[in-house]
Structure 1
Amino acid sequence: MITICLITILIIISSILYLYKPIRKFIQQKTIYSKCFKTPKSNCIPLFGHFFLLAGQVSKREHYQHLLKLCREYPQEPVICVWFFLWPFLAFTRVDYLEIFLAANSKHTNKSPDYALLDDWLKTGLLISSGKKWKKRRRIITPSFHDTNLLANCIDTFNEQLDIGLKYFQKLADQEIETDLYPLISSWTLDVICETAMGKTVRAQTEESEYVKAVVRITEIIALRMRSPWLWPRPIFKLSALGREHDHLLNIIHKFTRQVVEDRISDFSSTHVRHRMAFLDTLIANMHDEQMSIDDIQEEVDTFMFAGHDTTATALNFALFMIALHQDIQQRLFEEMQKIFENDNERPCTFDDVKQMDYLECVIKETLRLSPSVPIIGREIQETFQYNGKTFVKGTSTLIFIYEIHRDPQHFPEPDKFDPDRFLPELVQQQHPYAYIPFSAGSRNCIGQRFALLEEKVFLSTIIRRFYLTTSQSYEDFVPTEQIILRSDNVLKVKLISRI
């Protein structure tokens, strides 16, 4: 009984301390934003705003669909204000104000507070860090993603892992069934990112991995926590069943990556051990000169894993679905591959091959326009300022709604039409710099976008040469939802027919 009373008192005190500052800020922001921005009226309740529409156990499908509906209530407004109880979120759905956050000299580059829910996992790695630490890490890591030799090594890894994966894709073709390809794609991208980032083979395509399962599950928990304000305070979350599961998974993940880092450092210092370079090696090489600890290196490895696995798997899954839907586009792709590979459907892809895949690049970009792997990114306003007659208050969270920005008919006529020709070089030159931002833009753009595009080209060119893709579904079967990464609430199914 005493324990229950103490817990109750702790919760009450935590709630008071947690809400005092937000209430003060709420009054200030409510006064200003009610004059500057439209607030969607759908299911908007006084004080609580859209809280009950978007919060907690609302399914991820409903959560995302409700958010889309709110943003589309005023289609001509580039910014709307969504109230999540005491917290306003400024949602940007057009290009008009994006230079505030995405220009190279922007002051507002810090991630929004909800990213702090990733702190336990990623610590202050490149994705979350800010200020001098972020600038230093970005400077250290950037050269690796532009190192031609390292990227060429990555292509060897892509091909080796595809040799394993193709056996499973061929089995599906032999069975002549229409099925969800995502599990196979996800296992392949996991094997790829583990080997290229950490130099570690996890055999996700052939074996069950405790680490792999932990990464998938902890992402689900974090996504649920993001839309559950009562779980934002760390003490309350730690006491919950979800919090205890989160910590258990975190222990599995950190134990695994710590061991990988320590083993790699040991190998790196040995003159007898030779291995293919991984991105981890570039961090180890800078340990002493840049005064980086093992903890520093581990948080960047964890960040690589979080940012580089599911995003690519999702993009590839959507790309195969769109290619299966559009037979004319699939034929153009196949003809491009036949020309590049001289009708050889089995030869591994090379760095020189990738450079020639112009139309495939257009297809990938159009896929990322319609289904960006990360549909929303957040920023926090660092100082109060005025822009175009609007006041933006320090500390406000913003949502840069990439999914909606990519559907602006002013920049992409017939926005729901899948048309890779939008990205022909002569048309790209005419695009607004912030109309297409699947990898964000400015100083905090995705550091791994060149790596991701390379990975996607190798995978798709191999699949297209070996299999003909069909589907009985339509584009309407794609029901967008979001779990940090964009998903389809309906399973997207593709049938593979062997070309060999």
Structure 2
Amino acid sequence: MSLFQEIISWLLNNWKFVSTFLFGLIIYYSTKRDSRKSKYLENVKSPPTVLVFGNALSFVRPNYELMEVITSWYKKFGPIFTIWMGNQPIVLLADASSVETILSSSVHIEKSREYDLLFRWLGLGLLTAKPKKWHGRRKMLTPTFHFKILEEFIVVFNEQANVFTEILKQKADGKPLDIFPYVTRCALDIICETAMGKKLNAQLQEGKDAEYVKAVYGYGDILLKKFARPWLQIGLIWRLCGYEPQEAQYIKVLHSFTDKVIVEKKLERKNQSETNSNPPVSDDIDAGVSQKKRKAFLDLLLDLSEQGGDGNNTLTDVEIREETDTFMFEGHDTTAANMAWTILMLSLNENKVHQKLVQEELDGIFGNDKNRNVTSADISKMKYLEYCVKETLRLMPSVPFYFRHLTEDVKIGENILPKGISVAVADYFLHRDSNVFSDPEVFDPMRFSPENSAGRNPFAYVPFSAGPRNCIGQKFALLEEKVVLSKLFMNYNFQSVLKRIDVKMVPDIILRPCEGIKVKVTKRN
């Protein structure tokens, strides 16, 4: 028998030992901590860790308990502490000075490895793109969010808000209602028409969009599991646990939805006759946008995909889908969450006075004509409603954590955070800093009045992130929310069924309610 045959024979006879040994090596090297990172983080407080797992075992619990776990650590260790996910450290930052160091920097703009979990859905769109690609794409897309273009979308905001208001007439009987799916469908209709130029009519055809919305929620749920349980990030374990086909099905639904919209838009453009009255939107935004037909976000992407030249601004079909998926997610899910949270906050017993103040403000703007369209001039007068939206974002930020990858060492306070780690800007806790916001758990919209905001560090409140890589669509979101919410509160009263303490939150891709937001809706006199 040759030596090779002897080796094969031994391996076959001892396959259990060999398998265990190889598995042990995989676990060892995948959980072995980097000595340099560990040395620099010695002085940064951290919850007690378990060999191999770090702090990950603390997250093996129902999703709605995760915020409680992180909150307990924040209260115990303060605004800067480290969470070890296996061998990977994540340093949470929750004070304005530290957050400013990261978010204001033109160096620390690379998204961390945590965003890699979104790759199968969003690819390398604006949210997840690496710095070099992000710079070019951000510059290319910024003109679509110019305020003159956003003002034109107010027409769509009104149309869909009117549909929402009409639908609630049949539900305004004082019986408990989960308002969250209704808000979600409204936001989905708005983003489809403004970003895609396509009417989805999700509100009028309840259930038609269910597959897409369920896929968004389902995908967020399994990604949270993947993040909180680092061993699931090993491909073999992910597949053996049965998550691979589940993830693939969600991705299929999400991509099919977007692909269908893109194909229909391309066909529409092909069949549309080219006339001088409908030229492409030029780079000169101030050259009279109002005289041109409103173009959706997808139109811009398709315009760029059809350009020739050196190809620097030419988009492939895959890149079009990446950006489309990114704006479908960011343009409806985060906005829907904040509108729903605002309805909850204003419907709680202790906050009903704020609901009345919002309604008095709206009555002063619209008088008895509650059905007319909201204009940009009206929106500028909605000061108190804006304060309420902002205060809700303080307490319930749609995105409770922003992650960045450090490409070089950075000094935070007395500590040096080493390159190669992830830092998490924890705005959920940042917004609760009692040194900035007195009685931080109290809902007080007047925190955002001009006199009370004066002198406040702008990095103490970052619901849309901040600095170079802030949210490109924040003005869009606030305009949409003010139009929709003004329509709702002009016509209805809302009363929460639950107390705030009983509302469970899940921090998956966004901060969403675990069991919906149940309110009683009644018509205003």
Would the TM-score normalized by the shorter structure come out above 0.5?
A: yes
Letter in 1 for 2:340: N
1:218 aligns with 219
Q: What is the CA deviation profile of residues 273-297 of structure 1, one whole-angstrom value per residue up to 9, with x for unaligned ones?
A: 8885211112222231611112111
1:92-131 matches, cutoff 5 A: 92-103=93-104, 105-131=105-131
Q: Which whole-Å CA distance do the structure 1 matches of 2:256 and 2:515 have between them?
A: 35
Mean Cα deviation higher: 188-197 or 218-227: 218-227
8 Å contact kept, 2:162–2:487: no
Question: Aligned with 2:416: secondary structure?
Answer: strand
Mean Cα deviation higher: 12-21 or 380-389: 12-21
Q: How many residues align?
A: 486
| Shift, 1:460, TM fit | 0.7
Matching of residue 447 in structure 1 with residue 472 in structure 2? yes
Counterpart selection for 2:335 from 298, 312, 322: 312
Question: Aligned with 1:125: secondary structure?
Answer: coil
Q: Which whole-Å CA distance do the structure 1 matches of 2:19 and 2:380 have between them?
A: 60
Letter in 1 for 2:317: I
Q: Which whole-Å CA distance do the structure 1 matches of 2:190 and 2:81 have between them?
A: 40
Which structure 1 residue ranges, 5 or more long, are not aligned? Answer: none
Residues 45 and 22 (structure 1), Cα distance of their counterparts in 2 relative to 1, 3 Å cut: closer
Mean Cα deviation higher: 423-432 or 471-480: 471-480
Matching of residue 280 in structure 1 with residue 298 in structure 2? yes
Q: Which whole-Å CA distance do the structure 1 matches of 2:509 and 2:24 have between them?
A: 26
Matching of residue 70 in structure 1 with residue 76 in structure 2? no
Q: What is the CA deviation profile of residues 10-44 of structure 1, one whole-angstrom value per residue up to 9, with x for unaligned ones?
A: 9986884686365251x33223211x211134xx4
Larger Rg: 2
Question: Aligned with 2:361: secondary structure?
Answer: helix
Q: Which whole-Å CA distance do the structure 2 matches of 1:10 and 1:107 have between them?
A: 44
1:367-382 matches, cutoff 5 A: 367-382=392-407
Residues 463 and 240 (structure 1), Cα distance of their counterparts in 2 relative to 1, 3 Å cut: same
8 Å contact kept, 1:340–1:356: yes
Question: Aligned with 1:481: secondary structure?
Answer: strand
8 Å contact kept, 2:30–2:87: no
8 Å contact kept, 1:477–1:490: no
8 Å contact kept, 2:55–2:85: yes
1:420 aligns with 445
Matching of residue 51 in structure 1 with residue 74 in structure 2? no
What TM-score, normalized to structure 2?
0.86
| Shift, 1:420, TM fit | 0.7
| Shift, 1:165, TM fit | 2.0
| Shift, 1:488, TM fit | 3.3
Mean Cα deviation higher: 344-353 or 233-242: 233-242
| Shift, 1:170, TM fit | 1.4
Counterpart selection for 1:430 from 437, 449, 455: 455
Question: Aligned with 1:495: secondary structure?
Answer: strand
1:31 aligns with 39
Q: Which whole-Å CA distance do the structure 2 matches of 1:14 and 1:282 have between them?
A: 50
1:12-31 matches, cutoff 5 A: 16=25, 20=29, 23-25=32-34, 27-31=35-39
Question: Aligned with 1:277: secondary structure?
Answer: coil
| Shift, 1:9, TM fit | 8.3
| Shift, 1:176, TM fit | 1.8
2:286 aligns with none
| Shift, 1:259, TM fit | 2.9
Q: Which whole-Å CA distance do the structure 2 matches of 1:408 and 1:211 have between them?
A: 37
Residues 214 and 51 (structure 1), Cα distance of their counterparts in 2 relative to 1, 3 Å cut: closer
1:471 aligns with 496
Matching of residue 350 in structure 1 with residue 351 in structure 2? no
Q: What is the CA deviation profile of residues 196-250 of structure 1, one whole-angstrom value per residue up to 9, with x for unaligned ones?
A: 1112223322242333332332222222222121221345435542111111221
Q: What is the CA deviation profile of residues 474-493 of structure 1, one whole-angstrom value per residue up to 9, with x for unaligned ones?
A: 33223333122113345432
Residues 24 and 222 (structure 1), Cα distance of their counterparts in 2 relative to 1, 3 Å cut: closer
Letter in 1 for 2:295: M
Counterpart selection for 1:392 from 417, 421, 424: 417
Residues 341 and 383 (structure 1), Cα distance of their counterparts in 2 relative to 1, 3 Å cut: same
Mean Cα deviation higher: 160-169 or 9-18: 9-18
Letter in 2 for 1:384: D
Q: Percent identity, please.
A: 35
8 Å contact kept, 2:56–2:230: no
Q: Which whole-Å CA distance do the structure 2 matches of 1:18 and 1:375 have between them?
A: 31
2:201 aligns with 203
Q: Which whole-Å CA distance do the structure 1 matches of 2:498 and 2:167 have between them?
A: 22
| Shift, 1:253, TM fit | 2.0
Q: Which whole-Å CA distance do the structure 1 matches of 2:316 and 2:15 have between them?
A: 40
8 Å contact kept, 1:153–1:277: no
Letter in 2 for 1:31: K
| Shift, 1:315, TM fit | 0.6
1:249 aligns with 250
Which structure 2 residue ranges, 5 or more long, are not aligned? Answer: 1-10, 279-292
Q: Which whole-Å CA distance do the structure 2 matches of 1:362 and 1:229 have between them?
A: 39
Q: Which whole-Å CA distance do the structure 2 matches of 1:234 and 1:253 have between them?
A: 22
Q: Which whole-Å CA distance do the structure 1 matches of 2:140 and 2:21 have between them?
A: 45
